[in-house]
Amino acid sequence: MIVKRRLLTLRCVIKGKVQKLTSNLVMVAPQCEARDANTDTEYSKCVDLRRPHKVKRAIETMDKDSNVTEAQTKIFEAVANTRIALIVVDFQNDFISGSLSVKEGSAGEDPLDAIPIINDLANEESLDMVVYTQDWHPKNHISFVERAKDTDRMLENGHHDKELKAFDAVQFETPSLKQVLYPSHCVENSWGAQLHSDLVLPGSNVFLIRKGEETHVDSYSAFADNDGKQLNELEKLLKSNNITAVLCCGLAYDICVRHTLSDASKHGFLTGVIRDCSKAFSQEMASDTNKFLASEKIAILDASTAKSVINGEKIPIEWLSKICDKLKSDED
C-alpha cells in the first residue's frame, strides 16, 4: 500500500533534532523539471523521499522542543498518510474539437496531446480517487453570447444595443454580474458536453462532478459558482474520503483549472497542477496563471514527477512547507 511505502521511506530518515523551518528549505530540493520553453512554466522543486539525507535537510520546521521525537513523528505521519485525488477538469468534446476548442486559442496548445498522459496517470493504482468534471450548461446559459439578450436577463445600457461577440466581457443588470461571453458550449446531454471518447476511466474510485448547471451564473471552479455560492459536492466528496491532497489537470489551464486549484487550496488541500496534462487557451493568461499558482504555493508538476508524488517517492516543496506550517500552527 502507498501509506506503508511512504512510512518505510520516512522511518529511516532522521534521528536528530527537528529545528526551525528556514528560507533555505527550497535550496535543498532539486527542481522537478527545467523551465518549459513553450509554456514559460517553471516547475516546482521536490524532495526525494527515497533519499533520507534530502528529507533530513528539508524538514527543519519546529523550534527547539523538549519532545522533538514527537514533532518528527507528526511530520512523518502527515506525509505518509497523504491521500491523493486526481481531478481531471472538463476534458469535453467542445473544448477539444468543438465550439470552444482550446487549441484555437493564442496559446496554441492541443488537448489531444494530453489524453494518453492523463489515462496513464488516472490508472495509477496508488491514487486514492479520480474525479472527472464536466461543464453542464442549460441551452440558455448566461455565458452564451447567442443568449446574452434573452428576455430573462438585462444588459447594462452600454451593452444592450451593442453587437456582441465571443469573449466580450459584459455587465448584466439582471442578474447583477459581470460575465465573459463564449460561444454556446457543453450544453447538457449534447455531444459537446460528453467527455472525450479517448479518455480511459479507471475501474474503481471514479466520480463525476458537473458544474455550470444554473442558468444565470457561470462556474469556472468545480468547487463553487462564480458568484461565490458553494457547490459543496466536490469538497464533501473529497473530505468524506479523507483526501488531503489534490492533483489537478485539464481544460482550460488558465480558466477552469486555475479556479479549481485556487478553491482546492482555500479548502485546505495540498494542491498541485500537472502542467503537461493541462492545456491553456490564452498565452498571456497561461503566464499569469503560472505566477498566480506560485504565489499561492500550489505546486506545478509535470506528469513524470506527479507519478512519483502519487507513488510516495517525492513530495513538492510547497506541500512539505504547508505540512510544517500546519503542525507548527497546531502547537501554538
Question: Which residues form the catalytic set?
Answer: 90, 211, 256
Cα 307 from Cα 310, distance rounded (Å): 5
Identify which of 312, 307, 252, 299 has the alpha carbon closest to the alpha carbon of residue 271.
299
Q: Rounded CA gap, 330 and 99, in Å?
A: 49
Residues 6+ apart with CB under 8 A from 143: 137, 179, 180, 181, 182, 212, 218
Which 3 state secondary structure label does DSSP give 101?
coil
Cα–Cα separations (whole angstroms), residue 306 to 126, 177, 241, 247:
12, 37, 21, 8
Q: Where are the alpha helices (DSSP H) in the chain?
A: 2-11, 52-58, 68-80, 93-96, 115-122, 157-160, 233-240, 258-266, 283-295, 303-310, 317-331
Longest CA–CA span in the chain (Å) reads: 72
Written as nine digits, the cell of 278 is 493541462
Residue of 279, 254, 93 whose CA lies nearest to 187: 93
Distance (Å, whole) CA 67 – CA 173: 60
Which residue in this structure is represented by grid cell 517525492?
A: 314
